[in-house]
Amino acid sequence: MPKGLREIRNRIKSVKSTGQITRAMQLVASSKMKKAQDAAKAGREYAELLGEILDTAAAKAGGLEHPLLTRREVRVRGVLIVTPDKGMCGALNSNLLRAALEIPGAAFVTLGRKGRQSLARAGRTLLADFPVTDKAAFAEVRPAAEFLLKAFLEGKVDTVEVLYAHFKNTLVQAPRLQRLLPADDLVGQARALREKLGLPEPKVEADERDMAFEPSAPEILSRLPALFYKVAVHQAVLEAKASEHSSRMVAMKAATDNSKKIAAALSLEYNKARQAAITQEILELTAGASQA
Amino acid sequence: MPLQVEIVTPDRRAYQGAADGVTLPTALGEVGILPGHIPLTAVIAAGEVAVTLGGKVTRLAVDQGFVRVVGDKVSVVTEAALDVAKIDLAAAEQAEARARQALEEAKGSRDPDPEGLLRLEQQLRFAAIQRMAKGRSSSSAD
């Protein structure tokens, strides 16, 4: 067999086996995507209702001072960046990191290996790094949330923001920067959340009577914002996971389709070359026979 | 006009519907809510929520959380909630024993993980609440 033919055959083989790998990755990503999307959707209602409760409580209590609700001069922005651990998910990582590098005066806390690696390489301030698995359980996210909460209360950072890949649908994910602390504009935040999720305005029953608090208003307002903040962080992580798996599935599907296309083109080339070789051989034989 | 009751947990909407009255376990003891109640925000302790509609009572075991009552709408957010009728007593007891054992092991270890401890305590608390709520409903049925 001529050398050109063997080369083409080897390339077909390697393209096909790459295609098999990307197809397997696509299938894995699509099943994980389904789970992550369901988890993200299920968590929304809880986060939203909690926000509403905090909202009415803050409005009814009126003029209550709370460190988590008070805005102050911003010197250092605390940014929690949620990234995948792995690549192979299209432009998701590079989009997120580009958005991260555009934030001035930011100190980062990373959730996910890719963010840590790239920000460390870019020489940005890293406060801490936390791992998170695909399950993204509340308990896994809580250490990162509590770390930033503590930094905020101690004055190490003056805001807490979360940068993550917002899940619009399976094909569209965009980086989104959301400010969580200080939570001084709860009504606005709740409205932004509703717009984001496509939920209707809640029918808040008009009730002019004073609100009772049990055990007491300060007690509730010291616990609610912290819980709301943690749930909001968790929700962002769930969405980031849904985005990651969707993006990976789409990227792997494109790779699988490409490998099929390349394999088809190479097969055509291979068959042409083989036919040319056979024709050449026959020509040589007949030429040899007529000489004899 | 009847009350509107909703109970929401991080993974699902555990209950939604109209009610004539609802009893809530708060940090200061049980609170009964009837239509026309004044606006209220309260801390919920782990315990049992009883929703009454047309003489029929639905009981749910809930973990700690918050409740808001505004204009005859009762919204409960809690970490976990389960209909008492659906509680599997054996499973709850097993979960309780498992959580208790794991908790003791974790506390005995040299380097306890505070997050893990919190989670185990929550599991233990909720399993115990399920057992108590189930025990009460079955004894009242006899």
Sign of the dihedral defined by the CA atoms of residues B98, B100, B102, B105, in that order: negative
CB distance B43–A220 less than 8 Å? yes
A227 and A256 assigned to the same domain: no
In a domain, A93, yes or no: yes
- Terminal Cα distance for chain A, rounded: 26
A256 and A232 both lie in a single domain:
no
Cα first-last separation, chain B? 33
pLDDT-derived band at B142 (thresholds 50, 70, 90) equals very low
Residues of chain A found within 8 Å of residue B28, distances taken between Cβ atoms:
214-215
Q: Tens of pLDDT along B44-93?
A: 988 889 999 988 888 888 888 899 998 888 999 988 888 877 777 777 78
Nearest chain B residue to A42 by CA distance is B11
Does residue A244 sit in the same domain as residue A209? yes
- Does residue A291 belong to any structural domain of this protein? no
Domain holding A15, by residue range, is: 3-24+252-279
pLDDT per residue as tens digits for the range A219-278: 787 778 788 888 889 889 998 999 999 999 999 999 999 999 999 999 999 999 999 999
How sure is the predictor about A186, in pLDDT bands with cuts at 50, 70 and 90?
low
Q: What is the pLDDT of residues A63-111, one digit of tens each?
A: 666 777 778 888 899 999 999 998 888 899 999 999 999 998 899 999 9
Q: Do A265 and A238 fall into the same domain?
A: no
Q: What is the ipTM of this complex?
A: 0.74
Give the span between the Cα atoms of A245 and A84, in whole angstroms: 9
Under 8 Å between Cβ of A178 and A161: yes
- Between B142 and B137, the more confident residue is B137
Residue B10 near chain A (CB below 8 Å): yes
CA A96 to chain centre: 8
∠ CA A204-A202-B11, rounded to 5°: 120
Cβ contact B8–A143 (<8 Å): no
- Cβ–Cβ below 8 Å for B26 and A139: no
B12 vs A: CB within 8 A: yes
A53 lies in the same domain as A155: yes
Spatial separation of the C-alpha atoms in residues A177 and A104, rounded to whole Å = 13
Q: Is the pLDDT of residue B140 over 60?
A: no
Q: Do A245 and A263 share a structural domain? A: no
pLDDT at B95 over 90: no
- Residues of A with Cβ-Cβ distance to B31 under 8 angstroms: 214
pLDDT, tens digit (0-9, with 9 covering 90-100), for A149-167: 999 989 899 999 999 998 8
pLDDT: which is higher, A213 or A256: A256
Identify whether A106 is part of a domain.
yes
User: Is the same domain home to A130 and A15?
Assistant: no
Q: Say if residue A187 is in the same domain as residue A257.
A: no
Q: What is the CATH number of the domain that holds A256?
A: 1.10.287
**Is residue A69 in a domain?**
yes
Residue A74 domain-assigned (yes or no):
yes
Radius of gyration of chain B (CA): 16
Chain mean position to CA A270: 42
Q: Which residues of B touch A206 (CB under 8 A)?
A: 71
- Identify whether residues A226 and A258 lie together within a single domain: no
- Binning pLDDT at 50, 70 and 90, where does residue A200 land? low
Judge: A57–B68 Cβ closer than 8 Å, yes or no: yes
Residues 129-158 of chain A whose Cβ lies under 8 A from any Cβ of chain B: 138-139, 142-143
Confidence label for B128 from pLDDT (cuts 50, 70 and 90): confident
Judge if A242 and A271 occupy the same domain.
no
Distance CA A16, CA A263 (A): 7
Q: What is the pLDDT of residue A195?
A: 67
Average pLDDT of the residues in A177-204: 68
Do B10 and A214 lie within an 8 Å CB cutoff? no
Please, are residues B3 and A183 in contact by the beta-carbon 8 Å criterion? no
Query: What does the pLDDT read at residue A193?
Result: 64
B74: chain A residues, CB-CB within 8 Å: none
The structural domains of chain B, with segments of one domain joined by +, span: 3-84, 87-141
Is position A287 within any domain?
A: no
Residues A132 and A231 in one domain: yes
According to DSSP H, which parts of A71-154 are helical?
92-101, 113-121, 138-154
| Mean pLDDT rounded to a whole number for chain A | 86
- A139 versus A100: which is more confidently predicted? A100
pTM, to two decimals? 0.77
The CATH class of the B3-84 domain is mainly beta
Same domain, A234 and A126: yes
Q: Is A70 helix (H, G, I), strand (E, B) or coil?
A: coil
| Number of domains chain A is built from | 2
Residue A283 a catalytic site member: no
CATH number of the domain to which A198 belongs: 3.40.1380.10
